[in-house]
A and B are shown apart, each in its own frame.
Chain A
Amino acid sequence: MNQVANFTKGFIKENPVFVLLLGLCPTLGVTSTAINGLGMGLATTFVLVMSNLVVSLIKNAIPDKVRIPSFIVIIASFVTIVELTMQAYTPALFEALGLFIPLIVVNCIVLGRAEAFASKQTVFSSVIDGLGMGLGFAFALTILGAVRELLGSGNIFGLELMKGDLMLVFVLAPGAFIALGYLIALMNKLAKS
């Protein structure tokens, strides 16, 4: 398998958010700013890579019938590790992301990759896949976060780009849906051309 393609597919062609439409809850929930989006994306990437790694390592030791529960335990462990680490070292980001950190465990991407990819492929492929998918997810969240932050408050990554009254709605729940809707439409259009 071409590892370069394996790595890059997650960004555009099989982008978990824009194309596969997975993990929409955190995508919408934490992207009020670009930094939150990036933070969430990286946290998810960590869980993805680690769970892909472990799953592909022990895939043959797991009987089929308990495959899913075992995967869930593995994923949940890594989620908890992320949770504790962030709580300790990046408390502000941890607070901003809130509920969505533990919810990584039910993010369809993570279980989906473990089940569909890591439990069938080699360790190396699985890690690359996890990294590609995770960074693709982070990429999508950062873009959405940046768009919302820019339209909603004139900033990107806290940097003031525009002054004056901006459209607060983009910082709020409705703006999340609207911005993501148009972003997906745009990506569809770009993917076609």
Chain B
Amino acid sequence: MEYFVIVIGSIFVSNIVLAQFLGICPFVGVSGKLSTSIGMGGAVLFVMTLATIVTWVLQYYLLTPFGLGFMQTIVFILIIAALVQMVEIILKKVSPPLYQALGVFLPLITTNCAVLGVAILTIQKEFSLMEGVVFAISNAIGFTLALVLFAGIREHLDLMEVPKGMRGVPIALLVAGILALAFMGFTGMV
């Protein structure tokens, strides 16, 4: 049941993009096309889960025991940067097709605050490792959901001749705002 709460909570109730404002840059930047949105979502799922596991282990077996809690930010961001590099190298060797699909998005993820954000939140919320993994996966799904919905809408808007002043980022933010309004319907579900 706890896991259920985490899943529904992360995907719908407090969606990482629409309620927590994390990962907005790729949300605005990448979500122009459906195919790239799915690719980005996949890459984020991969890195976010991995990063959460590694940072969790580091936090509880290194930082906390040695009183180095204040090093959290610096350690986590380095871990994520290194992870992205590693994932890129490994993926290239092990699964070229997957690398082809996700490769271009990997460098972007280092500066995707959703990854660092989820890693830190996992610690802040005092999740167990397993809960953290579920939390990371759910948030990645929530991120992908928002991204994919958004990509569909923006591909549609490409054909709609939006007024000049609103074209591009303003209308994207407006859509995000209305989407966030709609997502408020999930309030109180968990």
Contacts and interface: CB of A to CB of B under 8 A. Distances in A.
Nearest to A24: B24
Interface residues of B, number: 40
B23 A25 contact: yes
B177 interface: yes
Interface stretch (A6-14, A50-58, A77-85, A116-124): A77-85
A178 B174 contact: yes
B81 interface: yes
A181 B170 contact: yes
A84 B72 CA distance: 12
Contacts of B111: 106, 108, 111
Interface of B: 18-25, 28, 70-74, 77-78, 81, 110-113, 116-117, 120-121, 124, 165-166, 169-174, 176-178, 180-181, 184
Contacts of A69: 78, 81
Interface residues of A, number: 40
A189 interface: yes
Contact of A184 (B72, B81, B170): B170
B117 A103 contact: yes
Contacts of B172: 181
B170 A182 contact: yes
A24 B180 contact: no
Given A21-B28, A175-B177, A181-B170, A105 B21 contact: no
B105 to A, nearest CB: 15
Contacts of A176: 21, 177
Contacts of A84: 70
Contact of A178 (B25, B72, B177): B177
Interface stretch (A126-134, A152-160, A166-174): A166-174
Given A69-B81, A72-B78, A172-B184, A108 B169 contact: no
A77 B117 contact: no
B176 A177 contact: yes
Contacts of A172: 180, 184
Given A174-B181, A184-B169, A184-B173, A105 B70 contact: no
A97 interface: no
B74 A25 contact: no
Contacts of A108: 25, 111
A114 interface: no
Most buried by A among B112, B120, B165: B165
A188 B170 contact: yes
A25 B170 contact: no
Contacts of A169: 181
B178 A174 contact: yes
A172 B177 CA distance: 10
Contact of B169 (A73, A77, A107, A181): A181
Contact of A102 (B25, B72, B180, B181): B72
21 contacts: A22-B25, A24-B24, A25-B23, A25-B25, A29-B21, A69-B81, A73-B78, A76-B77, A80-B72, A83-B70, A83-B73, A99-B117, A102-B116, A103-B113, A103-B116, A106-B112, A106-B116, A111-B111, A177-B176, A178-B178, A189-B165
